[in-house]
């Protein structure tokens, strides 16, 4: 109930408008951009905010600044800067200090993003579309937008942390999932306009097209679940030890390596980097043609997108490679070894070799899932809002968060031996 109440507050905030902005006119311009460019990066980011970005509400920045700041501070900087790495190794006390730095970085990113958004609404969009989005432009509007959207971002950050501490599941992931799922009714409306009776495209194959879309969606979800749950299990053998008259050890187990260890982070990093040139092109008139090159259906965009995803998949995996040395040392101390592999450095090299192969599979999988909506959108001529549910970051987030939340619910059932709605601690769908 606490988690649902926090999500309800977030959904209400999505519809509270920022003062001084014509949100209805801005939403119309976003729809025109989606129809003209095949759904640009702005429309992709708009899905992560639940439509708040396209209507300039107080939650227009969404959860992305919080995620970006957390990744930058707690993953990248904590690995590169010795002082922050020392904090990460100090346990819960160091983690709280490191997380406090992430909050400061989130506020800083929110101030920068809200200022650029205010300038975009005040100068760039009126010049391109001959429409007045800002009712009273000037310094007062910019300061009010910064204050409102930064405050909204701080509230989103607080809601996410409250869900993580007092609710069920990860707060950041659940808020982003709520934003994506909240766009499903609009996607269904777009399907009706595109394929339904009296729609835009009349064809005798309309029912078959709808059935094919539904079956294809189910197939993609099954593939995502299969890969996300997949593991490369490395066998581990414990040496036998004779102490007195008893024999200890000699057991066999395995070391699980998750196929997609980086999760959705490589795609988020790639989207953030690709969004940067679009922001620059919006403020420089000589670079306006760059937006055509980086439309979601262009070859240049998909090629850069795939290369960046491949790079960040290996990069995110390399950040956790130091755990192999720790695992090899721990195995050596307890007398465990991988059959056919000598303990020590040989074990580290073997684990690194296995992880490189597994990471290649994960990279190809992420590229296919990320580019799949664009292929479907161009092939079946369906709206970008509908195509986003056939793959990409949205599908990965929804499926991954759902699986993680189900695992946490199972753990609560097992801990409390709850036998109300379920006869056992296992949810029937996960048997």
Q: Which residue has the higher pLDDT, 111 or 52?
A: 111
pLDDT band at 132 (very low <50, low <70, confident <90, very high): confident
194: Cα separation from own chain's centroid? 28
- Do 210 and 86 share a structural domain? no
**161-165, 228-232, 234-238: which has the highest mean pLDDT?**
161-165
Decide: 301 and 358 in contact? Cβ < 8 Å: no
CA distance 201 to 382: 10
- Do 26 and 122 share a structural domain? yes
CA distance 344 to 327: 10
* Domain carrying residue 405: 204-431
The mean predicted confidence, pLDDT, of the chain is 77
- Do 124 and 238 share a structural domain? no
- Do 411 and 373 share a structural domain? yes
* Residue 388 confidence (pLDDT): 64
* Residue 342 confidence (pLDDT): 80
* Residue 355 confidence (pLDDT): 84
Burial (CB count within 10 angstroms: exposed 0-12, middle 13-18, buried 19+), residue 279: middle
* Residue 155 confidence (pLDDT): 94
**49-53, 120-124, 166-170, 391-395: which has the highest mean pLDDT?**
166-170
pLDDT band at 124 (very low <50, low <70, confident <90, very high): low
Q: What's the token pair of residue 233? A: 């299990």
Q: What's the token pair of residue 53? A: 């970005």
Domain count, the chain: 2
Task: Judge whether 191 lies within some domain.
Answer: no
Task: Judge whether 222 lies within some domain.
Answer: yes
- Do 178 and 104 share a structural domain? yes
Q: Residue range 107-126: average pLDDT?
A: 84
* Residue 334 confidence (pLDDT): 72
Q: Residue range 220-238: average pLDDT?
A: 84
pLDDT band at 405 (very low <50, low <70, confident <90, very high): confident
Q: Residue range 287-302: average pLDDT?
A: 66
Lowest mean pLDDT among 83-97, 234-248, 253-267: 234-248
**53-67, 80-94, 338-352: which has the highest mean pLDDT?**
53-67
Burial (CB count within 10 angstroms: exposed 0-12, middle 13-18, buried 19+), residue 363: buried
Q: Residue range 412-430: average pLDDT?
A: 59
The pTM of this model reads 0.75
Task: Judge whether 199 lies within some domain.
Answer: no
Decide: 98 and 91 in contact? Cβ < 8 Å: no
Lowest mean pLDDT among 95-99, 100-104, 141-145, 393-397: 393-397
Q: What's the token pair of residue 205? A: 């194959």
pLDDT band at 391 (very low <50, low <70, confident <90, very high): low
CA 308 to each of CA 22, 80, 103, 303, 425: distance values in angstroms, whole numbers, following the listed order: 36, 21, 27, 9, 41
Task: Judge whether 190 lies within some domain.
Answer: no
Residues 305-320 pLDDT 10s: 888 889 888 887 776 6
Decide: 47 and 186 in contact? Cβ < 8 Å: no
* Residue 22 confidence (pLDDT): 83
- Do 272 and 144 share a structural domain? no
- Do 415 and 381 share a structural domain? yes
**134-138, 239-243, 251-255, 332-336: which has the highest mean pLDDT?**
134-138
Lowest mean pLDDT among 146-150, 314-318, 372-376: 372-376
Instruction: Please list the residues that pair with 255 across neighbouring strands.
Output: 234
pLDDT band at 7 (very low <50, low <70, confident <90, very high): very high
**Of 117, 148, 182, at which residue does a domain stop?**
182
* Angle formed by the axes of helices 265-283 and 299-318, nearest 10°: 130
Task: Judge whether 279 lies within some domain.
Answer: yes
Task: Judge whether 192 lies within some domain.
Answer: no
* Residue 181 confidence (pLDDT): 85
Q: Which residue has the higher pLDDT, 155 or 261?
A: 155
Decide: 168 and 7 in contact? Cβ < 8 Å: no
* Residue 4 confidence (pLDDT): 92
Decide: 224 and 396 in contact? Cβ < 8 Å: yes
pLDDT at residue 418 above 60?
no
* Residue 203 confidence (pLDDT): 44
Q: Which residue has the higher pLDDT, 60 or 216?
A: 60
Q: Residue range 169-196: average pLDDT?
A: 77
- Do 106 and 4 share a structural domain? yes
Q: Residue range 368-393: average pLDDT?
A: 69
Which residue stretches of 319-390 are H helix?
322-333, 345-380, 384-387
pLDDT at residue 103 above 80?
yes
* Residue 113 confidence (pLDDT): 87
* Residue 200 confidence (pLDDT): 46
CATH number at 266 reads 1.10.3370.10
pLDDT band at 412 (very low <50, low <70, confident <90, very high): confident
- Do 216 and 138 share a structural domain? no
**Of 148, 182, 216, at which residue does a domain stop?**
182
Contacts for 59 with CB less than 8 Å, ≥ 6 apart: 10, 13, 14, 16, 49, 50, 52, 152, 153, 155, 156
- What percentage of residues in the chain have a pLDDT greater than 70? 73
* Residue 202 confidence (pLDDT): 44
- Do 307 and 240 share a structural domain? yes
Q: What's the token pair of residue 268? A: 């988020």
Q: Which of 395, 327, 334 lies closest to 355, judged by CA?
A: 327
The total of other beta-carbon atoms located within 10 Å of residue 234's CB is 19
Decide: 397 and 173 in contact? Cβ < 8 Å: yes
Task: Judge whether 252 lies within some domain.
Answer: yes
- Do 122 and 247 share a structural domain? no
Task: Judge whether 195 lies within some domain.
Answer: no
- Do 104 and 11 share a structural domain? yes
Q: Residue range 319-344: average pLDDT?
A: 74
């Amino acid at each position: 109930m606490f988690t649902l109440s926090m999500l309800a507050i977030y959904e209400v905030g999505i519809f509270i408008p920022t003062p001084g902005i014509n949100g209805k006119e801005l939403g119309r311009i976003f729809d025109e951009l989606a129809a003209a460019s095949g759904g640009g990066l702005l429309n992709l980011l708009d899905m992560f905010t639940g439509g708040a970005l396209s209507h300039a509400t107080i939650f227009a920045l969404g959860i992305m600044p919080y995620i970006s700041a957390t990744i930058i501070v707690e993953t990248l900087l904590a690995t590169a800067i010795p002082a922050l790495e020392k904090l990460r190794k100090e346990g819960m006390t160091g983690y709280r200090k490191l997380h406090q730095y992430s909050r400061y970085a989130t506020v800083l990113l929110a101030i920068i993003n809200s200022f650029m958004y205010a300038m975009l609404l005040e100068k760039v969009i009126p010049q391109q579309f001959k429409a007045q989005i800002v009712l009273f432009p000037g310094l007062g509007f910019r300061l009010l937008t910064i204050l409102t959207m930064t405050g909204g971002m701080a509230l989103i950050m607080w809601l996410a942390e409250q869900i993580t501490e007092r609710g069920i599941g990860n707060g950041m992931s659940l808020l982003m999932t709520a934003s994506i799922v909240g766009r499903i009714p609009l996607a269904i409306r777009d399907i009706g306009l595109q394929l339904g009776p009296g729609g835009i495209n009349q064809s005798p194959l309309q029912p078959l097209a709808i059935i094919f879309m539904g079956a294809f969606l189910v197939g993609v979800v099954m593939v995502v679940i299969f890969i996300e749950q997949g593991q490369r299990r490395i066998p581990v053998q414990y040496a036998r030890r004779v102490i007195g008259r008893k024999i200890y050890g000699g057991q066999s187990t395995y070391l699980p390596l998750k196929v997609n260890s980086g999760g959705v982070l490589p795609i988020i990093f790639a989207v953030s980097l690709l969004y940067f040139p679009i922001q620059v092109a919006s403020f420089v008139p000589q670079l306006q043609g760059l937006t055509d090159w980086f439309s979601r259906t262009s070859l240049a965009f998909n090629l850069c997108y795939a290369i960046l995803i491949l790079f960040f998949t290996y990069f995110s995996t390399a950040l956790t490679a130091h755990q192999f040395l720790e695992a090899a040392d721990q195995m050596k101390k307890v007398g465990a070894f991988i059959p056919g592999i000598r303990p020590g450095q040989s074990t580290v090299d073997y684990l690194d070799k296995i992880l490189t192969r597994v990471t290649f599979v994960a990279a190809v999988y992420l590229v296919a899932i990320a580019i799949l909506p664009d292929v479907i959108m161009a092939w079946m001529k369906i709206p970008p809002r509908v195509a986003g549910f056939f793959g990409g970051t949205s599908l990965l987030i929804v499926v991954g968060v759902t699986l993680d939340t189900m695992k946490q619910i199972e753990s609560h059932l097992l801990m409390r031996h709850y036998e109300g709605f379920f006869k056992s601690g296992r949810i029937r769908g996960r048997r």
